[in-house]
Chains A and B, each alone.
Chain A
């Protein structure tokens, strides 16, 4: 059974069909990449998966459970978290506070209004683990707004990871990260625990082919090709519509 599955997913914006009969199937533990040219509907699909948008037709299944009607925050509790293509951070909080917030929510103390943040050792232990994993230790007391972009990008993933998702959706994690900070980012993505299923949406073909064990190609809102990286790379139709222009460039 796939851990994440969409069945006939469709989204219309007025007359425009942004996602058409998308049947995506992500296996447990996979490193699955969703690629496609600009405007192919990748972001629409991720917004449908996470509940930011409601589909006009079709179902979304997470671990066999129908989550089509679940609110965004409920999907997080059911085990699926995402990052955003454009950073969505809490600029006035420090990384430590931001991660502390997520961990508190996940451990069910988020609505606790009487105790001080981090007064429970279980919370601080987990904060430390996330801070270290995402190499944010030396900036954890800085205001998020003034962090270097690469660190902000790491925090973007750290916040999603701190939700302890079984499925992690990464929306162009490397977008806009300067070359000097890129290595650190890619290394942390590589080092994500194997049991976490990752669905990667990415433009960067180097990252896709070094990371993914399965690739789905989205064109004009529809799934075009779906298979192992070698097969996708060899597929003449994919080359024609997409990879050719990207790889040659």
Chain B
């Protein structure tokens, strides 16, 4: 029996599901080994009978929580797809302010009070609402990693994320350290698995895959200070994908 797979999205750009489509010809293999039963971005059919649910996006509202809990109930395995689902990602940036304040900034005087569509709470990652079995981090996800996770789930090998930092992949790519180019990089504290794609293209790591289990934050801050990065600038960079109130 092929595992039945469904995709769902919450507050997100839907770019992670797009990476599944971006597997291009490999999609033909994918639909050979799993049965895709719901994939709103690409399919009309949908079903509540599935084994594996891939969930993209952050959770913003009570109505989203309800839907997510239904998905968790139906799914044997729930995989959080992408930074928004895994850690909250950029959606978390707004948690710096109160809900009322951000509503006012965007919707100004419009009458949205009591309207359930606009009834938001501070951004949550998926695992703040339901249990998550596996995570495919990144903004967007690395499609090769997605393919690997699907293959692993299909043959019964528990997917495991790299436990080492982006620097490992960056060194193997023989990049010039972006610090040497006068840039800022979160590679040393960020979980690898992206093949160090940003530093490889001359930009610093933004931490979209989330921190390691035991990030060396103090050591990293020392290094940033050594390279002349101000505390304010550090806060902004650390917060981009990994916002935590009052801390970096």
A pairs with B:
no
